[in-house]
Structure 1
Amino acid sequence: MNERQHPTTAQDSPVTVIGLGPMGRAMARVLLAAGHPVTVWNRTPGRADELVAAGAVRAATPGGAVAASGLVLLSLTDHRAMYEVLDGATGALAGRTLANLGSDTPERSREAAAWAAGHGADFLTGGVMVPAPMVGTPAAHVYYSGDPGVMDRHRPVLARLGVPKYLGEDPGLAQLMYQAQLAVFLSTLSALMHATAMLGGAGVRAAEALPELLASADAIGAILRAGERTPGAALDAGEHPGHLSTVTMMGATADHIVDTSAALGLDLALPRAVQGHYRHAIDHGHGGDNWTRIIDGIRAPHRPVGPRGAGPDRSGGPGQPCR
Structure 2
Amino acid sequence: MTTHEQLLNVLSPVHYVEPDYGFSQVYYQAGLTLLHPVMLSFVQALAMVERSGADTERYVGYAAKSMDSLKEFLVQFAEAAKVGGVEDVAMLKMMDAAAQHIIDASEEVGVDATLSHAAQSMWRRAIDASDESGGVVTTYRLIRGD
TM-score normalised by structure 2 residue count: 0.79
CA distance in 1, matches of 2:40, 2:126: 23
Q: What's 2:120 paired with?
A: 275
CA distance in 2, matches of 1:293, 1:166: 28
Shift of 1:167: 2.2
The Cα RMSD (Å) is 3.0
Cα distance per residue 1:170-227 (max 9 Å; x no partner): x4321111010122123212211111111111111220111111211110113444xx
Q: What's 2:84 paired with?
A: 238
Q: What's 1:59 paired with?
A: none
Q: What's 2:66 paired with?
A: 216
Q: What's 2:143 paired with?
A: 298
- Segments ≥4 residues shifted beyond 6 Å: none
Q: What's 1:186 paired with?
A: 36
TM-score normalised by structure 1 residue count: 0.39
- 3-state DSSP of counterpart to 1:251: helix
- 3-state DSSP of counterpart to 1:204: coil
Shift of 1:231: 2.8
- More helix by proportion, 1 or 2? 2
Q: Residue 70 of structure 2 aligns to which amino acid in structure 1?
A: I
What is the percentage of aligned positions where both structures have the same residue? Answer: 25
Cα distance per residue 1:148-188 (max 9 Å; x no partner): xxxxxxxxxxxxxxxxx03242x432111101012212321
Higher relative contact order (CA 8 A, sep 6+): 2
CA distance in 2, matches of 1:260, 1:281: 24
Unaligned regions of 5+ residues in structure 1, if any?
Answer: 1-10, 12-25, 31-74, 76-127, 135-139, 143-164, 301-321
Q: What's 2:25 paired with?
A: 175
Cα distance per residue 1:95-128 (max 9 Å; x no partner): xxxxxxxxxxxxxxxxxxxxxxxxxxxxxxxxx4
- More strand by proportion, 1 or 2? 1
Q: Residue 293 of structure 1 aligns to which amino acid in structure 2?
A: T
Is the contact between residue 17 and residue 23 of structure 2 (CA under 8 Å) also seen in structure 1?
A: no
Label 1:196 to 1:239 Cα distance change in 2 as closer, same or farther (>3 A). Answer: closer
Is the contact between residue 85 and residue 141 of structure 2 (CA under 8 Å) also seen in structure 1?
A: no
Number of equivalenced pairs: 142
CA distance in 2, matches of 1:250, 1:166: 33
Q: What's 1:141 paired with?
A: 14
